[in-house]
Copies of this chain bind each other. A is one copy, B any other.
């Protein structure tokens, strides 16, 4: 019997899609050659004592090496810890210690950071360099038969561990089995293939994941692409300008990225061509809300998109679909309304645990059930108890629900502002402000207020031509059109040189709050 274990995906692809290309930077592979390399790697690592349950940290950009490790470690029943190299140093060390990484595979391109983290793990393999025991040596030394260990890997064995990093507290580890990671990833592909989304996926798409592989395995693309037999382009360390070159050179048709990456890519493209590329690009985006401004900018550039809802502690849960919709209505729906995957149950509940009305008005927290959600965080009973309850995962996201069952995530609960006992969704105000010409980034945060508890203020990064008055007028117009309640209008608008970002590329609201209640550029 064949089992739902990760490495079977590449075994299948090597047979059925043997010559389909996988581009990694300037190197060219095929699914057959990558499978061969993964087998050799697995056999070499097996001889080194890596086996069932061995935790192996990997710190790399999106490369063929990372792909090979994802499959080779699966064959051995080892657990891959996908290290988030953008974490602050203390958190980075915490995750490596907490996961008990026994081996570290690290890309030399990280330089000093790589050298430092290498000292924290017993066994280190350098990738992309001549330092110490080299990665390519393992591949050369191994033979290309399926290792014996592969037969005893079970669907319910742990496949991977990674960490959720909030803006407060220590990182929380979460572990997924082969079957959980597989079904959670594939439901994304299935939904994109079968439903009317803006990130329509087919086996003949050329896929270039820009979500880093340490972030929920690049939202599953390293598994989805060989599962489909789709050509795969890995951008490695390349930035927006070179990503654009890769898109054009390899005729990439499908990508995933957070809104910030989409914004940077569009900025880059804007300077040379009205369209992003000469082929239509379909983008799956998520991780933070997509502003109306960015949605329209993407639309003008010929990029179609859908939004995915999920996270490290729930995997993918919902994707925006727009059956039968065109034009502006389609754009709005794809930017906002999330439809849960089959076998995922989403509820929006108030503080008493009762479902809110499906009226698109009442806000509550998103609770999620699915076959692939674990029961808690690794060795963290306190946080587990807070977030996992009675088979449900309490997401910490604030949403409204619509009569058709779809939901709209307005904010993180901790980012939402409670003013006079009512919720104000910062992301909705941010979306309105993003439409003002010249606005590059905007964050709305709560500020303590003696009368109302909290009041919103807006922090804006914009071109010098954009004035506070432009923004005020636009907000007033939004109130007049019913898009915002009048009491949602921020008490002040402050300009900032450049927005602080988290390790995941999102706006670092906690840092903004810490900057104090008055910014030097505040003249409002």
Contact = CB atoms under 8 A, between A and B. Distances in A.
A227 B340 CA distance: 12
Contact of A323 (B8, B203, B375): B203
A370 B2 contact: yes
A344 interface: yes
Given A18-B405, A196-B202, A405-B16, A342 B391 contact: no
Contacts of A9: 342-343
Interface string A322-356: 01100000000000000110111100000000000
A287 B370 CA distance: 35
A1 interface: yes
A423 interface: no
A195 interface: yes
Contacts of A3: 371
A373 interface: yes
A339 B193 CA distance: 18
Given A190-B194, A227-B342, A1 B204 contact: no
A236 interface: no
Nearest to A392: B1
A189 interface: yes
A501 interface: no
A343 B202 contact: no
Nearest to A190: B190
SS class, residues of chain A in contact with chain B: loop
A4 B194 contact: no
A93 interface: no
A12 interface: yes
Nearest to A374: B1
A18 B324 CA distance: 17
A371 B405 contact: no
Contact of A203 (B196, B201, B202, B391): B196
Given A194-B203, A194-B228, A324-B204, A1 B405 contact: no
A15 interface: yes
A193 B196 contact: no
Interface string A26-53: 0000000000000000000000000000
Interface in A164-210: 186, 189-190, 193-196, 201-204
Interface in A462-485: none
A369 interface: yes
Contacts of A339: 16
Contact of A12 (B16, B324, B343): B343
B16 A340 contact: yes
A53 to B, nearest CB: 23
Contacts of A190: 186, 189-190, 193-194
A406 to B, nearest CB: 8
A194 B186 CA distance: 11
Interface string A350-376: 000000000000000000011101010
Contact of A371 (B2, B186, B195, B343): B2
A15 B406 CA distance: 10
B371 A323 contact: no
A204 B371 CA distance: 26
20 contacts: A1-B369, A1-B371, A1-B373, A4-B343, A4-B371, A9-B342, A12-B342, A12-B343, A15-B405, A16-B340, A18-B404, A18-B405, A190-B190, A190-B193, A190-B194, A194-B202, A194-B203, A194-B228, A195-B203, A196-B203
- Give 8 nearest A-B pairs by CB, closest first: A193-B193, A193-B194, A16-B405, A195-B203, A190-B190, A2-B369, A1-B391, A227-B342
Given A15-B405, A16-B340, 12 more contacts: A1-B369, A8-B343, A12-B340, A16-B339, A16-B404, A18-B404, A190-B190, A193-B194, A194-B202, A196-B203, A203-B323, A204-B323
Interface of A: 1-4, 8-9, 12, 15-16, 18, 186, 189-190, 193-196, 201-204, 227-228, 321, 323-324, 339-340, 342-345, 369-371, 373, 375, 391, 404-405
